[in-house]
Amino acid sequence: MALTDISACYFMVFLASKFPQISAAFFASSLTVLVSLALDRCLYQLANHVIYLRVTTDANKLALIRQIAAVTPGPMYDWDDIAVAMDPLFCSRSPLPFPYFFYNGESCYSFVITTDL
């Protein structure tokens, strides 16, 4: 749980102790919201991990390395060119319904520096 979730739980307990007449309904609705937020966060991270595993195959990594070597990127607009060139390959392995894996050159650059190529 994140610090904000723990703080929210503490705040709910505090309010329930100060206002016992609304504590049960308030606690139940607040707990439902917190559980749904935590579940949503877990599902989002799981989906991102599945997409990452499907896209980061050895063939895709090698193609990305070749594209980087061919372009020899410097400024960020060079990374935009790499992102445009790599989108069709990465999207062919992605379960996402849209044809863009990289948002822009910055997301491509971030992917390269955080991925074990």
Tell me: the pLDDT tens digits for 58-112? 888 899 999 999 988 888 889 999 999 998 888 887 777 777 888 888 988 988 8
**14 in Cβ contact with 26 (< 8 Å):** no
Residue spans per domain, the chain: 3-44, 56-114
Q: Positive or negative, the Cα torsion across 46, 52, 58, 59?
A: positive
**Residue 3 in this model has a pLDDT that exceeds 70:** no
Q: Which of 2-11, 32-41, 45-54 has the lowest mean pLDDT?
A: 2-11
Task: Place 5 in a pLDDT band, splitting at 50, 70 and 90.
Answer: low
